Amino acid sequence: MPVMDYLERNAELYGDEVALVELNPAEKDGRRLSWKEFSLIESDSNAPYRREITWQVFDEKANRCANLLLSRGIRKGDKVAILMYNCMEWLPIYFGILKTGAIAVPFNFRYDADEILYCAELAEVNIVIFGPEFIGRIETHAERLSRGRLLIYVGDGCPSFAESYHLLVADCSSSKPEVPPITDEDLGAIYFSSGTTGFPKAILHKHQSLTQAAEMEQKHHLTSREDTFLCIPPLYHTGAKFHWMGSLISGSKAVLLKGTKPKVILEAVSQEQCTIVWLLVPWAQDILDALDRGDLKLDDYELKQWRLMHIGAQPVPPSLVRRWQEYFPHHAYDTNYGLSESIGPGCVHLGLENTRKVGAIGVPGYRWQCRIVDEQGKTVPQGEVGELCVKGPGVMTCYYNDPEATAAVLKDGWLFTGDMAMQDEEGFYFLVDRKKDVIVSGGENIYPVQIEDFLHKCDKVKDAAVIGLPDRRLGEISAAIIEIKEGCTCTKQEIEDFCLALPRYKRPKQIIFAPVPRNATGKIEKPVLRKRYGAEQLVAKENRS
């Protein structure tokens, strides 16, 4: 059944129980920050700002949002974008969109103004609902964004080019909207993936995918009514939202934490009695490093109830898990593999009972099938490397309005992931390499082509290649190999200053001046670069230690 039905069930059965808690460590002088001041900053406050809503209020808020959208002409199959930081309004708005029969379209909050416009037009969005942090980016293209679509603002001080969500929704009914029946076969959401080119593709999913992800999460992690899930990553991400949906299925509490410092995380786990926590590799590394230094002491927190730590979004070093288990020997552990095309994490997962196989991405998830194929699409013998393919009820419908790209990855119901893998004799899958050159740094995708194109704009740059190099904390960092034009001189500082025009997360973390090797067809030989400079980085680290 569609996930909205679970929300309505929870409102009926557990209406007075807490569904969501929002913890915002960004306090200032003991008061709540206004919407204009709000940001995802950290604080050492011992009493972070806290909000909560019950399942009944959650459902009522979703109904009000749905009725607002219906009053503005939204109908089944229309698209409504969400561009907001994590907050108490995010999930009720998402479910409000689904309740109308419209398609929810979460935007990555890292998008710049041009990317917001591109994705709005690519997905043919009818409404953009955005928060205060994005006023400047929306305003840049407000005239074009306003053509044929509404801009609705969630917060105080509504800009002149938008309408106020809070004023509009206040007059809307909290009763269930009257719409035609919505089934698992109806279209439900669009997510974005840029692949190796850096140009976003709109990934279209049916409601069946959303329900699959939610039920799978509950099955994989045995989420019960007694659990409390701590959600830190951004809700636009399929990982965060669908890991949370284990709480939706079980009717249990979840906590939205706006902060990633080790102390803030452990305080939240302790104060809210969290039992399940999903971390990215950098956050887990930071917690372990703080414990190693003595900056944090486990005895200062109430953590006995914490039963499961799981990680996704990037490869997990086995050494990290071994260190984690030294501090938290009673924790269950899981890792999850997935793509937005497979409705996020879980199509392959390690499994709570398989910690001994850390290093593997695991086995097929609930209702999923996997196979590894060669270049001709034939299954390879066990132990040989090939492309990982997955099949199940969470596979995307298509890349929206892109039949050519869809045909390249969807074949007879199988999703070709672009990831190279092998299966061992026990049936566990291991990632070997990526066909795609996407750099995964701290759980975020960095697309080398975008940075390479930018570097080519520098007058002194003849050629450039961007690769990922191993990093203990972030998983990978971006490194730019730059070939300078003959007769020119250039320093690292000049390149770093030039890159200040890029968003911070896209700026190369390492600059290397060297020739850029290309093969006979003109393609950059990135495996050669990764091998060469990855090995050099390892030697340099060993020499420093």
Q: Is 269 helix (H, G, I), strand (E, B) or coil?
A: helix
**Mean per-residue pLDDT, 241-255:** 97
Domain assignment present for 372: no
Beta strand 31-32 pairing with 253-257: unpaired
Residues 6+ apart with CB under 8 A from 155: 35, 36, 131, 132, 165, 166
Report the C-alpha dihedral over residues 93, 95, 96, 99, rounded to 10 degrees.
Answer: 170
Structure tokens belonging to residue 466: 């961007």
Q: Put residue 302 in one of left, alpha, beta given phi > 0 → left and psi -120 to 50 → alpha.
A: beta
Going by C-alpha positions, the residue among 522, 526, 506, 511 that lies closest to residue 451 is 506
Share the mean pLDDT of the chain: 89
Amino acid 453 reads D
How many Cβ atoms sit within 10 Å of the Cβ of residue 248?
28
Q: What is the CA radius of gyration of the chain?
A: 23
What gap in Å lies between CA 93 and CA 62, rounded to an integer? 6
Domain assignment present for 328: no
Worst-scoring range by mean pLDDT, 35-39, 149-153, 171-175, 449-453? Answer: 35-39
What gap in Å lies between CA 540 and CA 521, rounded to an integer? 33
Give CA angle at 101 (99, 105), nearest 5°: 90
Beta strand 150-153 pairing with 414-423: unpaired
Residue-wise pLDDT for 417-429, tens only, equals 988 889 999 999 9
pLDDT at 343: 94
Full domain range(s) for residue 455: 439-544
pLDDT at 501: 92
**Mean per-residue pLDDT, 307-329:** 86
Domain assignment present for 521: yes
Going by C-alpha positions, the residue among 246, 226, 234 that lies closest to residue 442 is 234
Domain assignment present for 289: no
Residue-wise pLDDT for 477-486, tens only, equals 999 999 998 8
Q: Is pLDDT of 321 > 70?
A: yes
**Mean per-residue pLDDT, 3-24:** 96
Residue-wise pLDDT for 184-194, tens only, equals 999 999 999 85
Worst-scoring range by mean pLDDT, 101-110, 331-340, 435-444? Answer: 435-444
Domain assignment present for 218: no
pLDDT at 194: 57
Looking up residue 517, the CATH number of its domain turns out to be 3.30.300.30
**Band of pLDDT at residue 519, cut at 50, 70 and 90:** low
Worst-scoring range by mean pLDDT, 21-25, 53-57, 370-374, 404-408? Answer: 21-25
Domain assignment present for 93: no
Going by C-alpha positions, the residue among 30, 22, 25, 50 that lies closest to residue 40 is 25
**Band of pLDDT at residue 262, cut at 50, 70 and 90:** very high
**Mean per-residue pLDDT, 88-113:** 95
Structure tokens belonging to residue 349: 């997962």
Domains contained in the chain, number:
1
Between 279 and 27, the more confident residue is 279
Domain assignment present for 30: no
**Band of pLDDT at residue 459, cut at 50, 70 and 90:** confident
What gap in Å lies between CA 394 and CA 388, rounded to an integer? 16
**Band of pLDDT at residue 34, cut at 50, 70 and 90:** very low
Distance of CA 377 to the CA centre of its chain: 29
Question: What is the full DSSP assignment across 273-291?
Answer: T--EEEE-HHHHHHHHHHH
Domain assignment present for 450: yes
Question: If 0-12 CB within 10 Å is exposed, 13-18 middle and 19+ buried, where does residue 407 land?
Answer: exposed
